[in-house]
Structure 1
Amino acid sequence: MKSDPLNGAPDGEAKPRFRPRPWIHLDTVQDVELWIDEHNRSLQENIGPQETGYGVCFTLAEGGNIYLHSAADAVLLDVDQDARWIAPLIVAATGAEDPGTDYWTLPDDKLIQLVIGLSCLVESTTLVVGHRFGSLHRKMGYG
């Protein structure tokens, strides 16, 4: 397949809107709070008001992706099948029960514990839009 010299993508394919960013291990609550602030700022700058299903994709070094959206009152997770191995860590870090599905809803006050728990396992993060957070797919406000 021939590549488009302007964006490096194969002809007919759009250049990805967001690219993976290497993850830097976060050790403290303050580190995570700074990451959350930066993440929220990036969403506000890059996501239009008409867009839905936005959040961040955590690519795990050992395999799989976790898609996260933080709303005013909840943290929504979509844990793909290749990342189901991470379920016990999510339970341990947040005290939540494993829902037995790919879709998790956590109280919003568990976001910091979740990110600290995942931090040493994350390879990269990528902003996402248009992700279907299971049956929770709806227009959500910036978290």
Structure 2
Amino acid sequence: MQDAVDAENNGAAKPRFRPVPWSALESPADVELWIEEHNLALKEHIAPHETGYGVCFTLAEGGTIHMQTSADGAIILDVDAEADWVAPLIAAVAQAEPPQGAMWVLPDDKLVQLIMGLSSLIATSTLVAGHHFGRGQRRRY
């Protein structure tokens, strides 16, 4: 019996990061605290050689948004097709038309406003590493 349990556990790799239930953030101070905690978690769990790291928001009404901030201060959003319904909110934050594809690039001064806008729509957040973030498809706002 134990051999079967061991074989099952060895055959299926456990996910490196697990979804964390989201608690709605109600003020800019709450968002800034979440950003600080998220940055600390990235420093603790992401190796210096890793790329494509950030956070994946699973939306309560469907779809996911992968988000990372770049070294040059941009906010990069990879919005999957199932989450297209959130494009008007992102466009309002960016004060721009939606891009041709799924990749949004926003200035860093929009981060708090973006998280505030998305907060009530998020079901879970998960740290990610190795996400491709659509290199070469970026359009700045």
Shorter-normalised TM-score: what interval? 0.7 to 0.9
Q: How far is 1:57 from its partner? A: 0.2
Q: How far is 1:135 from its partner? A: 1.6
CA contact (8 A) 1:65 1:80 kept: yes
One-letter amino acid of the structure 2 residue matched with residue 69 of structure 1: Q
Instruction: Check if 1:30 corresponds to 2:29.
Output: yes
Instruction: Check if 1:70 corresponds to 2:65.
Output: no
**1:106 partner SS:** strand
In the alignment, which residue of structure 1 is the partner of 2:120? 120
One-letter amino acid of the structure 1 residue matched with residue 34 of structure 2: W
Instruction: Check if 1:20 corresponds to 2:10.
Output: no
CA RMSD of aligned residues (A): 2.0
Q: Any residues of structure 2 matched to 1:56-95 within 5 Å, and which? A: 56-72=55-71, 73-95=73-95
Distance (whole Å) between structure 2 residues aligned to residue 79 and residue 96 of structure 1: 16
The alignment-based identity, stated in percent, is 57
**1:15 partner SS:** coil
Distance (whole Å) between structure 2 residues aligned to residue 12 and residue 114 of structure 1: 40
Instruction: Name structure 2 gaps, 5 residues minimum.
Output: none
TM-score by length of 2: 0.87
Distance (whole Å) between structure 2 residues aligned to residue 52 and residue 71 of structure 1: 11
TM-score by length of 1: 0.86
| 1:23-65 Cα shifts (integer Å, max 9, x gaps) | 0000110000000000000000000001110000000000000
Distance (whole Å) between structure 1 residues aligned to residue 115 and residue 15 of structure 2: 25
Larger Rg over CA atoms: 2
Runs of 4+ that moved beyond 4 A:
none
Bigger Cα displacement from structure 2, 22-31 vs 95-104? 95-104
